[in-house]
């Protein structure tokens, strides 16, 4: 029986040390500064840090391999490396849940290579500040030149350009739109990446869902503050 499965696309291997151009703010930025060197030392790229009120407080750290893959085992290895560091550095005040996650299919786009490797697919872009009178863009990614993104504007009036040029560093948030096309492409790329990993079962990628891989090691309790010393009131402050 002839195999009619379309061939897998060529691997798109990105630079491990490529900097992110879109960053977090506030407490999430503090966490990112602490964890990014360790994530990189493990051979992964930090994608995003997000702090949410889920379960009281959840610190989500999203990472990936340079080829875009990230297995459950990668999540566990990252968690084991980061947990002791976060306990010492305490970039987040109070108790929280730590979650290590892959980017997922409707992934954030934070590097030049992210926009380049998903050229042709639809994305949503929200600017940090207004650009040409608008803050939000949605359309197909049409390429990257330097640090400038070209995105199609199918909703633009006939008398206006059908594309916009966006400085990536001025983007507040960008992510892929979850479409049938991006789901199919993501599954093929995951299968290709798994084939490249020694000992991995490439067919496992066929069972991937739209949800990212996640690992939650459990809640991180708040450290108790030292009790006041009545003999030395200055040390109790």
3.40.50.2020, 3.30.300.70, 3.40.640.10, 1.10.1740.10: CATH of 26-104+210-219: 3.30.300.70
pLDDT tens for each residue of 123-177 = 999 999 999 999 999 999 999 999 999 999 998 899 989 999 999 999 999 999 9
**What confidence tens digit (pLDDT) does each residue in 96-127 have?**
999 999 999 999 999 999 999 999 999 999 99
Q: Do domains 26-104+210-219 and 112-176 have the same CATH topology?
A: no
7 — pLDDT class (breaks 50, 70, 90) = very low
Mean pLDDT of 4-19: 66
Q: How many CA atoms lie within 13 A of 207 on its CB side?
A: 6
Going by their DSSP bridges, the two strands 58-64 and 96-101 should be labelled as parallel
What mean pLDDT is predicted for residues 199-203?
Answer: 51
As its CATH architecture, domain 112-176 has Roll (2.30)
Res 1: pLDDT = 45
Q: For the chain, give every domain's residue range.
A: 26-104+210-219, 112-176
CA–CA distance from 176 to each of 67, 125, 157, 183, 206 (Å)?
17, 9, 24, 10, 20
């Amino acid at each position: 029986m002839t195999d009619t499965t379309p061939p897998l696309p060529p691997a798109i291997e990105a630079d491990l040390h490529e900097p992110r151009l879109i960053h977090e703010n506030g407490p999430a930025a503090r966490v990112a500064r602490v964890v990014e060197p360790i994530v990189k030392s493990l051979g992964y790229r930090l994608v995003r840090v997000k702090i949410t009120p889920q379960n009281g407080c959840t610190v989500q750290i999203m990472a990936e391999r340079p080829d875009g893959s990230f297995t459950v085992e990668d999540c566990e290895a990252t968690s084991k490396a980061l947990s002791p560091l976060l306990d010492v550095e305490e970039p987040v005040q109070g108790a929280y849940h730590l979650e290590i996650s892959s980017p997922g299919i409707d992934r954030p786009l934070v590097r030049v290579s992210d926009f380049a490797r998903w050229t042709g697919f639809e994305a949503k872009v929200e600017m940090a500040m207004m650009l040409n009178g608008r803050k939000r863009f949605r359309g197909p990614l049409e390429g990257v030149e330097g640090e400038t993104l070209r995105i199609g504007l199918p909703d633009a009036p006939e008398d206006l350009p059908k594309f916009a040029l966006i400085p990536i560093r001025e983007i507040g948030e960008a992510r892929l739109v979850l479409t049938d096309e991006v789901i199919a492409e993501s599954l093929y790329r995951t299968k290709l990446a798994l084939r490249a990993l020694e000992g991995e079962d490439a067919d496992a990628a066929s069972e991937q869902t739209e949800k990212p891989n996640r690992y939650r090691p459990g809640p991180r309790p708040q450290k108790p503050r030292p009790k006041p010393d009545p003999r030395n009131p200055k040390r109790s402050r």
